Structure formats: structure tokens, C-alpha cells
Structure 1
Amino acid sequence: MTGGTKLRILVTDGDNRSALAATRSLGRAGYHVAVAHHHHPALASSSRYCRARIQTPDPQKDPEAFCTAIVEAVRTHRLDAVMPMSDITTLTLARAMQDGLLDCRMCAPPLDKLEAAADKRTTLELAMQLGVPVPRSIVLEQHRDAERDLDLPYPLVIKPARSRVWYKGKWLFNAVSYARTPEELQATLREFVPAQFPVLLQERIEGPGVGVFACYDRGRLVALFSHRRLREKPPSGGVSVLRESVPVDPAADAHAQALLGALAWHGPAMVEFKMDQRDNSLKLMEINGRLWGSLQLAIDAGVDFPRLMARIMAEDNVTPVLSYRIGVRTRWLWGDVDSILALFLKSREELNLPPDHPGRWRTLLDFLVPWSRGLRYEVLSLEDPRPWIYESRHWLFPKRSKSH
């Protein structure tokens, strides 16, 4: 299938903002887009560019039934390709393709490469082999390993090697947490079940995040992008709610390409670093082998990852997109509201704010500016308003949304 053929594409995880960005991008380009989720309407399936809604079981609760539903949807809707938007759906569908259950295209590397990228201990070891700087780290195989002298300064970052683990019939989400004292560390580790180990303990790196966003076509780099986070949810660091396109940091670019090259990567990936303010050196945080929540910013700046991925899956000749507009901003408004509320409802200590955080009132002043040059809103679109209406209703009336 070559020569610019328009694939029929299934986008999963319909309530993700990345799914909405992909649905809009592909739909505007003339692709037939179906959206899969465990309830409808969902954020992406509310879009005018969604041509079909696919109801599936929740992949977090029953990945096998989810996979069966996707296989059936591909067959009955005559879909050519699937574009997963989360770690769980990416790994689940990659496993189905490896086992010969799913007969369609997916812009992702083989399962073993995805699993290597998803395992923070594996990426830490790979980075050290390649000379990519990493935070000082200790790997705990079990809870009692933390009883020895750790030789790391507090506060510590507690980072399970895998963000998601399958345990007793469900997925556990392993969030990054912090410990200011040995007692806090022990209390946190006691809450972990054996499946959540190994756990990485790392020194906390103070400084701005630096991300490299890339897409590869069977080991060949075809897209590169970077942004800086201006505000996050939670405020101490997490999901970006206001961000701006910036030139790719040369050192981050070199490190990211070394890592992804060693993995013989195929498809999208996000490589995250932090700039250590002690010596202005980059330290690797993690690799995510999928599209990311702030995808809309890259599209607005001129790097349309979903369309590039569609062309790769169609086996078209893809011209690399390595330049883009600098200074473009996107804002996720309801996420920004959550972030500012957290600042006023919790203390600096509860939020684990870094010393250089501007604080409540400075952040509030910036928050109250509704528009600036180059600013776009991520979900809100006058040309496609239904996703914004859907998201606003679910933010304002969360109890009602739980009925889905």
C-alpha cells in the first residue's frame, strides 16, 4: 500500500488528549478515523473527525478482552492500521501482533524493544553503557534492601522500574514519589506489593525538564521536536499544562539518538531529561515508546507526528521533518486549573515543590493571562467544539462522569 494511499486508522484510548490530537490531525488530512474506548462519548470520539466509535472493554481491567474487541473491530470495520495512545494499549497490541492475533499495521517497534524502553532499570543500564548521564541510583530488588546504608542524599526519588505492572488480574499504576527521610522511604516501600519491584532510588535532580520527541522509520530518524514545560500538573512536576516549542538541545538530541539508535527504534518515542542545575548537565529520566499528552503542540508547531506515522504505515517515502516553528505555545486549560488549585489547597511541602518554583501568587498572575502571542488552546477549538464541551462537563460534574 504505497503512493499516498489513505489508510483506515483506529485510534485507541479515546479519552486521552493525544487521541484527540491524532484524530483531528488524521481526519483533517482525509483519513478515515475510528476511535476506540471503553465508553462513548469520549474526548476523541466527540470530535467531528471521528468516523466510527468502537466500544471495547477497559484495557486496564481486562486486556485480553480488549485485544479481542480490537481484533474484531479491525475485521468488521476493514481497518488497515491501529494507533495506540497509552503504555498499556501499546504493549497489549504489540504482543497481539507478535502472537499473530492482530492483522493490521502499527507504527511501533517489536515487543522486546518496547518492553526494554518501558523498563527504567533497563534504560538506566543502557544509558550507562552509552555514556549518557543518569542520576545517582540504587536498585532495590525487595523492600528490605532499603535497610542498608544507601549512600544517597535525601530527598530521594522513589521510581518503580515499570510504570505499569499486571498484578492479580489488574494493572497497577506505579507513580513516582519522594521521601524526605528514611522513615518516609520505609513507609512508602511497605505499601508496595512484590510485583512492583524492582524499584529505583535516585537522587533528586533540581532543574528544568528537557524532552526530545522523535519518530523513526525502521531505525531512520524522520521527525524531531522539543518543548519546554512552563507549568505542570502537579506543580512539582508531571503532566505539562502549558508548554512552548523550543529548539532541540544538541546534547539531548545526541543522547536521545544514541539511546533510540541502540534500540533500533521504529515509531514515536519521547526521551526525557532534566537539566541538573548543579553543573548544567543533562540527566536521563525515562523513555516513553508512544505518543505523548502534549502532542497537539508539535502538530501546531509544524511536526505532524500522526500524519508521518500514517505515511510510514502506508510505506510511503517520508521526508524527514527536523525543523519547526519556535515559540508556539499550547495550554491545556482544565489541567492548568487543576494545577493552580493544587498550589492554593496544599502546602509547598505537600506538593514537594522545588526551591526555584515561583510560588502561588506569581503563578496565579501568569495563569490569569488568557492569551499571548503564539498561544493556542489544546482541546478548545471553535472549528471542532464538541471535545471541549465534553471535557468541560466532565471537569465540572465529575461524579456524573463516573457513571461511564
Structure 2
Amino acid sequence: MTQLLIQKRVLVLGEDTRSFLSVIRSLGAAGMEVDIVTLINTTPALRSKYIKKVYKLNYQAFTQIEYSAKVTAIIEDGDYDLIVPCDERSLYPLLDIQESKKTKATFAIPDRNILGPLFDKEETRKLAVELGINVASGEHCEFNDTSSEALISKYSLPLVLKPTKSYESEQLNQRNTVLIARSISDIELFKQQNDQCLVELFFEGTGMGVSVFSWKGKVRAAFAHKRVSEPEHGGGSSYRKACPLPPDMLDACQKICIHLNYSGVAMFEFKYNSSSNEWILIEINARFWGSLPLAIFAGVDFPKILATYLLTNEKSYKLTYNLKAHARSLTSDLYDIKASFERNRTQNGTAKALSNAFPRLFGFIRLLTGNDTIDTFQWGDTRPFFSEINELIGEKIKRRFRMSKHSNNAKQYANLLAEPINEILVVCYGNIMRSPFAANLLEKKFHRQGINVVVKGAGFHQLESRPSPERCILEANKWGVDLRSHRSSWLSQSMIKSHGQLVIYFDLKHEYLLNSYYHSYRALNLAHFVPPPAGPLEEIADPYDGSPDALEQCYLNISSALDELLITLTASNSITK
């Protein structure tokens, strides 16, 4: 099988360390030349030895139109044999690109006319009922017409709130998340972010998945797993184990594949109650899924099987695998263990919390058996694993080290400020409180000293033209800054300049967003320039939900930090009068 794929070219689109990295490794090991489009710049998947070329595109720094145009150009210029998306954000734009017929590449995506049952939870539910497949009791709910109390009265707590789609095709920058609501406050918070959804009766049981490769409606490869650990409020499992294929669940998958005449991969999510021996279908993911590393580790290499069917004449079956296989997402599992410990400690005390945490931590010893793996780890391609370890531990240590050594000495910023600066771009999250005040105040300070540097502002929030809050306008007036005419701007990649520009931000969230979604910039954290005794700081905190005193302190810190920054910029000769 491997020989048939050697030197064929594939473009893989995604971001995570589970499905995305697994597809890269599978097809790279099969001899294919792998290029990627990543939705996040910092994913450990980028460290895989199998990647030939990286394209960094996303929905934070680019509009959907820009993203689609750039991906189209990559595909048209790349002479690819196969295009493989690993999530809906990557998949939806490919539908139009495929239909344009401007490339010879084969697209590993479902036909447009069957997307509904595969990605819309309401249509999945209707099809399941039509085919006699078990689903939870539930209904479509418009929140304007239904109170939280009425939902609790009908379904009791906990209940399940499901947006019909994980992503809307016209709003791919926003993920819609399923919630297991355990209180009325959970429901109210969900309603603030959603106008409607599916409401379902909570089904007590263990999460299970049946992953399949189907060809013209017939299942040719299959794998089943159980969740070993599950987040309390829903979401993906961090630790999973292989299990025998349940005949009735596999039959349900086959019914749907036959009905849709489906060709491609899919993971069918179920919930199984061992006491009653009952199960329900939860949803379908008709693209590569989070538990894919476990399937491949157990012996069912879905990406390679898919590529072989699509690009060669070889057709094979795969229904057997290592039933002892376990796999965990290291970062997610550690954070889930920590969250579970904190929750148990609050509810039951430290001793009980420790007794619950120890078995999960002790479970890591299974890695020595050869039947347990970590999603990012693979012999011969270990760099993604060590990159994940660095994200978990190394970056925190580096950040503390940087803070302990911080000073306003220009030598510390010699590399960053080596090039002359003719524009400063001040960014915060919403561009309505911190960055407009700082940009206006810095412009005034430059003007008083006769410095000719352009100052602009922007925010990561993509809803533009929002005014500053009245309390910010009043507080800014005390500093001689008028924010009444200010309207927010979104920070796009096109605003970033690789030369002559310095980006100023305020907190660690901004640092994360810049690192994750933008490129070719020079940036520094203004909080590091807050002078003693208040600073230096790690963050100038967002005063959005803060008190009047917090807003006043925020603006005081910004003003004093700008004075210190101005001294540093002048001393480094990066700005001149």
C-alpha cells in the first residue's frame, strides 16, 4: 500500500495535535510529500519531520474571503494529488474551490448534498429517527419562546444544549460548543451566546466512538473506542481506549453510510449505558476526528486507507486492531486532572480530591507497557511531543525568567529596536479601552517632544466600529485625551508591517494571540515598562469588568509605562526628533 503513494503530493489543512498531526504523520510515512495550511502558528504539529512547506492562514488575522482566496492560490500553484481538511473550518471553503474545477487534485470531502446529515445535529437526528437509530429525547428550541425554568421542568438537570452546527459556514471564526447544563446559571450563560439550539434529555453513560471508512456506502474499515475520562460539562475526551466493535452500533453506522451512499471517513459518537445495555447516537464527524491517534496506534490507519482508495486502484478492508491500545492527549489530560482535583477539593476536601487524582496520575505508568501512547509522541518524529512539553512547562519558566530580568535598559531591547521605527501600532483585545487611550496619549507625548512617528490602534475583536464606554471617555478626559469620536478597528494581518513598525500590547492574552495568528511583526509588552513601585508588571489588566478605581489605575499604569518606553526608544536611537 505504501509504495503506491510515494511522491504523491498532499495538502493537509488543520491545526491540532490529534487529527491534524496524525494525518501529517500517516501520509508522510506512506511516502507522500506533505504541505500544510495551519490555522494556528504555535501548534506542535508544525514540528513534524514530514512537513515540506507550511502556509499560515487563519480566521483571526484574515477574513473568510481572504482565507479562501489564499487557499485557492496555494492549491492551484501546488500541483497536489490530494487535499485533506481536518476540521469544518478547513472543509467548508474547499467545497467552492473543488467545484471551480481549477485543479486536478482529489478533495477528501463529502458531497455538498449530504453535508446536512453529516454536520447538522438536527438533520443527523432526523435521519437517525428515520432509520430507526436510537437518539436522546429532545427538540429544537428557540430561546425567545422558552424560559430556562420551562426547560428544567421538562428535561430536568442535567440537560444537554446543542448548537445545531459546530461552525456556521459564514462564520468560521466562531466555534459553537455543546454544553451539559447542570444549573440554571449554565443555561442562562448559554442563552447569552445562542438564540436557538437542540435541547436533549441527559443520557447517563460512557462516551463511545465508532470510526469508519466507507466507500460507496459500504464500511471498509472500522474502529471502536471508549472514553476513559470525560470533561464534566462535555467536550472531547482526553484519555481513550480501544474496544471491540459493537455490532449494533456498527450496524447503525452502516445504515447511515448506505442511505447517503457515503465515501469517506467519519466518526460516529455514541453514549452507552452498561447498566441498561442501551445506547444513543450523539453526532457524526464526517472528517478526521480527535481520537484518530488511538485508531492509528491500534492498527487502523484511516488517513492512509483513505488516500489509497482515492488515489490508487488498491481496495482493502480493516476491521481488526489491538484491543489493548490506549491514547491520551497529554495537555488536555493534565488540565482535566487538575480541574477535577480542584472541583473535588472544593466539594469534598483535599484528602478525597487526592484519592481521586492519584489513580489517574498512576495511570501514566501504562506508557511502559507498549499499549499506551501520547497523541503527540511517535518514535522517529519526537519533535511535536517535545514542543508540547515546552508549551506546558518551558514557556512558563521562560516568562518568569524574563520578568525577573526586566529593566528599562535599552540594551535589553537592542535586537527588537535595532531598526528605526516610523510607526507604532497599539493593540488590545477590543480596541475600546486600553489601546485607544494609549495610542492617543502616546501621540500627544510624541508631539510635545517633536517626534514624528505615526501612532495607530487596533484590537483582536473582529466586530468593528464600537465606541469606547462612557466611563473610559470620562477617565481619558482627565489626561487630556478625547475618545468620544473613537471607533474600534480590527487587527488584520494587512495592518502588520515587517519593517519600521513596533507593536505594543498589554497582557499575556495579547501575546498569545499575536504568536498564534500573526506573523512578521516586532512587539513588546507595555506592562514591562510600568516603573516601580507599581511595576514592572506582567500585564496591564483589562478594566472591562473592573471598578472605577481599576480603570483609573489602568490608565495611570499606561501613562507611566509610556514615559519609560519613550526613554528606552530614544536611548536606542530607534526614534529621533
| Short-chain TM bin | 0.7 to 0.9
Alpha-carbon spacing, 1:60–1:180, altered in 2? closer, same or farther (3 Å): farther
Matches of 2:30 and 2:57 in 1, distance apart? 26
The correspondence for 1:173, drawn from 172, 175, 184, is 175
3-state DSSP of counterpart to 1:191: helix
Which of 145, 150, 155 aligns to 1:152? It is 155
Structure 1 residues 286-295 or 10-19, which shifts more?
Answer: 10-19
Aligned partners of 1:284 and 1:263: how far apart in 2?
17
**Pairing of 1:77-116 with structure 2 (within 5 A):** 77-100=78-101, 103-116=104-117
**Percent of residue pairs identical:** 27
Q: Give CA-to-partner distance per residue, 1:362-395, whole Å, 9 cap, x none.
A: 4344356653351122212342121112222223
Q: Is the counterpart of residue 394 in structure 1 residue 391 in structure 2?
A: yes
Whether contact under 8 Å (2:266, 2:285) holds in the other structure is: yes
Is contact 2:161–2:199 with CA below 8 Å preserved after alignment? yes
Structure 1 residue 333 corresponds to structure 2 residue 336? no
Q: 1:268 to 1:384 in 2, by over 3 A?
A: same
More off after superposition, 95-104 vs 331-340: 95-104
For residues 186 and 160 of structure 1, the distance between their equivalents in structure 2, rounded to whole angstroms, comes to 13
What's the offset of the Cα at 1:260? 2.3
Residue 306 of structure 1 is matched in structure 2 by: 303
- Contact in 1 for aligned 2:9/2:82 (Cα 8 Å): yes
Give the corresponding residue for 2:215: 217
- Structure 1: which 5+ runs fail to align? 351-357
**Does residue 280 in structure 1 map to residue 277 in structure 2?**
yes
Name 2:380's counterpart in structure 1.
383
- The structure whose RCO (Cα within 8 Å, separation 6+) is larger is 1
TM-score, normalised via structure 2 length? 0.62
How far is 1:229 from its partner? 1.5
Output one character per residue of 1:5-49: Cα deviation in whole Å (capped at 9) or x when no partner: 542001111444211111111111111111111454643331111
Mapped pair 1:253 → 2:250? yes
- 1:126 aligns to what? 127
| 1:164 aligned partner | 167
Q: 1:58 is aligned with what amino acid?
A: Y
Larger Rg, first or second structure (1 or 2): 2
CA 317–220 in structure 1, closer or farther in 2 if over 3 Å, else same = farther
Q: Which residue of 2 aligns with 1:355?
A: none
Higher helix share: 2
Amino acid at match of 2:179: S
- State the SS of the aligned residue for 1:340: helix
Q: Which residue is 1:230 aligned to?
A: 228
The two structures, once aligned, show a CA RMSD in angstroms of 2.7
What is the distance in 2 between the residues matched to 1:316 and 1:334?
Answer: 40
Note closer, same or farther for the CA distance 1:60–1:184 as it changes in structure 2 (3 Å cut).
farther
Structure 2: runs of 5 or more not aligned = 348-354, 397-507, 517-577
| Counterpart mapping for 1:70-81 below 5 A | 70-81=71-82
State the Cα deviation string for residues 114-156 of structure 1 (Å, max 9, x = none).
Answer: 2331111111111111110111102113432347955323221
Report the secondary structure of 2:10's partner residue.
Answer: strand
Distance in 2 between residues matched to 1:46 and 1:225, nearest whole Å: 28
Residue identity matched to 2:313: D
Q: Which residue of 2 is the match for residue 208 of structure 1?
A: 206
Amino acid at match of 2:4: G
Which residue of structure 1 aligns with residue 13 of structure 2?
12
Confirm or deny: 8 A CA contact 1:71 1:102 kept in the other structure: no
CA 271–30 in structure 1, closer or farther in 2 if over 3 Å, else same: same
Give the structure 2 partner of residue 323 of structure 1: 320
Distance in 1 between the 2:156 and 2:392 partners?
39
TM-score, length-normalised on structure 1?
A: 0.87
- Conserved 8 A contact 1:59-1:66: no
Quickly say closer, same or farther: Cα 1:326–1:262, change in 2 above 3 A.
same
Secondary structure class of the residue paired with 1:157: strand
2: CA distance between counterparts of 1:349 and 1:310?
Answer: 49
Q: Is contact 2:219–2:257 with CA below 8 Å preserved after alignment?
A: no
1:224 aligned partner, one-letter code: A
